[in-house]
Amino acid sequence: MTIQWFPGHMAKAKREVSDKLKQVDFVIELVDARAPESTQNPMLQDMLQSKPKLMVLMKRDLADSHVTSEWIEHYHTHNCEAVAINVQDKKDLQNVIASARHLGQEKLDKLRAKGVRPRPARAVILGIPNVGKSTLINRLANRNMAETGDKPGVTKKQQWIKVKNQFDLLDTPGILWPKFEDEEVGYRLAAIGTIKEQIVPVEDVAAYVLNKLNSRYPDALKQRYGLADVDDIELAFESIGSKRGCLESGGRVNLEKTAQVILQDLRTGKLGGISFEEPEGSISY
């Protein structure tokens, strides 16, 4: 199975982002803490060039905290600022502001040295769809500046937003890349809800999630679904569907509804902290 999604507005956004990078002092790139590598757009990295960057690992409350700590260490080792956050946690938001202010300070110091009146540092916020950009912006600005939604692809335009008089932030639409070279990247993005479900075979994605739970988080599989393993994926679906009331007339299990239940459990944290990938060289698994 190959999952691809590259709406027209994203191609336009890529061109616009390339132009706007000339106007900013640093970049804030958002990734999902459950899959930081898969949710980092490789198409953007060449565009960013040498711009200072802050990596923000979103939805840390849904990820495996141990693995997230390894990711933060990984980024720091590669001389990249990084923080993991839950947008509902005020302390986490303050960490983002402090880290962003630190990155912008170098530019402001240079302006002062030239005798130029300092201006607010300027940043652009980037990330793939549904990673939480608009929600973070609204929390940082303490008002509804950016449109939000629980479906990918909500933001369609760019706008400048002031963040507590600390720096100016440019919001941009989420950008995916045309083709996933690694098929598993598509599964990961589909599992965490980055790709619109209308184009995703939800049963295949739910089966992928169950297999990952089986190999990495067997306790979650047992506690949530009462399953010791999912060696027979069809029987696993039957068991989960029966217990969760995903039945059709005649008592037959509706596999699509069962798949939706599994994905909803994952996305709402009912399976506990789940991470789908770890940094290269990690010994977590």
Task: Classify 8-171 by CATH class.
Answer: alpha beta
pTM of the model: 0.86
CATH topology of domain 201-267: Conserved Hypothetical Protein Ylqf; Chain: A; domain 2 (1.10.1580)
CB 41, CB 126: distance < 8 Å? yes
* Ranges in the chain annotated CATH 3.40.50.300: 8-171
pLDDT tens for 28-58 read 999 999 999 999 877 777 777 678 899 999 9
Strands in 167-171's sheet, in edge-to-edge order, are 81-84, 53-58, 26-32, 121-126, 167-171, 159-163
Residue identified by tokens 């982002």 is: 17
pLDDT tens for 65-84 read 999 999 999 999 988 999 99
Nearest 5°: the CA angle 34, 39, 40 is 125
pLDDT tens for 158-199 read 678 888 777 888 876 666 555 566 788 888 989 999 877 666
